[in-house]
Structures are given as structure tokens and as C-alpha cells.
Amino acid sequence: MRIVGGKFRGRVLASFKGKDVRPTSDRAKEALFNILAPEISGANVLDLFCGTGGIGLEALSRGADLVVFNDVSADSLAILRKNLALLRTDAKIYNLDYAALLDRIDVTFDVIYIDPPYKSGFGADALRRIAARRLLNTGGVAVLESDRPWEGEIEGLVRYDERKYGIAYLTFFTPD
């Protein structure tokens, strides 16, 4: 895992392999941040289901003001903390179930990245909670990474784009 752009570009990050670990590919990450470039500088970013934090660390590298990381895996978050120390930067880290975090967090975001375990169904539920609590700022972007194209609607959000990178689909939403 490495940072593909910004002030930490090219830095190799600590990571670990496991059967439940599926980092976003460098190709998908680079494409994502090319799309989100105007949104990142000065932004509040939530990396939900962050794993070892590749997306949020990339956002920090590209100038995000605040990045909030959340994952249920203490092992993944330990690697994230090592990477934050390696980059000599700081962020807010939560070790909570995604629903608990979304139900109690009191920050709104410009970018929310949702990368749940594939086939879990957590992505649609996370989007519903984000819309219901209005956690996405006007003009903000929520991005769902999944293994299949998006089907359905989420009240309060509009799907405006979808891209495929390898086996991953990135689906983009904004508040309606």
C-alpha cells in the first residue's frame, strides 16, 4: 500500500494480509482522487470501514483538514496508527461499529468513503444513516465501494456517477 499523490506521494505504508483484508487498489485510489480533487483540499473526510486507512491517508496527503477513520478491527487500526506516525500526522480514530459511529458522530463531512465488506449489505444501510442524519454537507460526495453496480435509491441522496476498476465499483452520491 502506498500514497499515490499529494505531499506524501510515493510513501510506502505498513499493511497486513488477511482473508478479510481488501485494500482499495492503487489504480482505483488514483482514479478516485482525480475525480475528487476539487473536493479534498480543506475538506472534512470520513473513511468509514477504513481498514488500515489507505483512503483517509491519501486525503490527508492531498490537503484534507480533518480525516475521521473508523473500523471495527483493532488490528487494522494498529497499522493505521503506525502509518500516521510514519507520516508524522494526526487524525481522529474510532474503533466502533459503523452504525454506532454514524448514529453518534457530531461532525458533518465533505467527503465520505464507504468501503464495507463486499456482500455485507452495510453500504446501503450506511448511506441511509448518512442521509437521515444529514452527515454530508451540501455539495459533498459519498462514495460507496462495492463488488457490484448500484441498484436502488436512498432518500436524501442522488447517485450521479459510477465507475468500475477491476472488481470494484465506485458509486458517487450527493445530497438532493
Q: What percent of the chain has pLDDT over 70?
A: 97
Mean pLDDT for 134-159 is 96
Nearest partner of 49 among 108, 102, 98, judged by Cα: 98
Q: What pLDDT was estimated at residue 27?
A: 83
123 pLDDT tier (thresholds 50, 70, 90): very high
Q: What is the pTM of this model?
A: 0.94
Flag whether pLDDT at 110 surpasses 90.
yes
18 pLDDT tier (thresholds 50, 70, 90): low
Give me the amino acid identity at 174.
Answer: T
Task: Return the CATH class of domain 26-175.
Answer: alpha beta
Q: What pLDDT was estimated at residue 38?
A: 84
- Which residues contact residue 138 at a Cβ distance below 8 angstroms, ignoring those fewer than 6 apart? 175
- Taking the CB of residue 164, how many other CB atoms lie within 10 A of it? 12
Nearest partner of 1 among 101, 76, 68, 94, judged by Cα: 76
Mean pLDDT for 33-51 is 94
Pairing relation of β-strands 168-175 and 157-165?
A: antiparallel
CB 172, CB 148: distance < 8 Å: no
Give the burial class of 75: count Cβ atoms within 10 A of its Cβ; 0-12 exposed, 13-18 middle, 19 or more buried: middle
21 pLDDT tier (thresholds 50, 70, 90): low
Query: Which of 88-92, 110-114, 156-160 has the weakest average pLDDT?
Result: 88-92
Flag whether pLDDT at 48 surpasses 80.
yes
Sketch the domain layout of the chain as residue ranges.
26-175
CB 77, CB 85: distance < 8 Å: no
- Residue 13, C-alpha cell as written in the block: 505504508
Helical pair 74-87 and 54-61, crossing angle rounded to 10 deg: 20
Mean pLDDT for 135-152 is 96
